[in-house]
Amino acid sequence: MDRLRAIFELRDMLRQMERDIGLEDLSRAEKDVFQAAHKLTDEPGQLVRSEQIRQHPLTCDITQATFHRALRSLLDLGFLERPEGARAKHYIVRRDLLHD
């Protein structure tokens, strides 16, 4: 199999996996922000700060405005939450929304 075909097959598999867990309708920036936030938390309910997400390799090339739009969208969609009593710019990743 040539390398280009392997890349196409991997992208198709990734798209199917995203569809299976409910990420298919997110924009690329939203997926990257969500995946970075998820990667930065070791356990459900753990807080992650926006600057941690912003510095992650998946998101460091996203413009500031797009990053904040993606964060706002993920909050509106319920993928991220602002914890009660926590400081601004702190988030919780909602892992329970992802389909198994």
Write the pLDDT tens digit of every residue in 35-83.
Answer: 999 999 988 888 999 999 999 999 999 999 999 999 999 999 999 999 8
Flag whether 70 is in a domain.
yes
Q: What pLDDT is stored for residue 97 in this prediction? A: 66
94, 79 in Cβ contact below 8 A? yes
Cα dihedral value 8, 10, 11, 17, nearest 10: 150
Q: Please report whether residue 18 resides in a domain.
A: no
Burial class (CB in 10 A: 0-12, 13-18, 19+), 84: exposed
What is the tally of structural domains in the chain? 1
| Host domain of residue 81 | 26-97
Structure confidence at residue 77 (pLDDT): 93
Classify residue 73: in a domain, yes or no: yes
Nearest to 82 by CA among 74, 92, 72: 92
User: For the CA atoms of the chain, what is the radius of gyration?
Assistant: 15
Supply the CATH number for residue 65's domain.
1.10.10.10
Residue 19 inside a domain? The answer is: no
Q: What is the mean pLDDT of residues 72-100?
A: 85
Q: What is the pLDDT of residue 2?
A: 87
* Domain assignment of residue 10, yes or no: no
**Structure confidence at residue 98 as a pLDDT band (50, 70, 90):** low
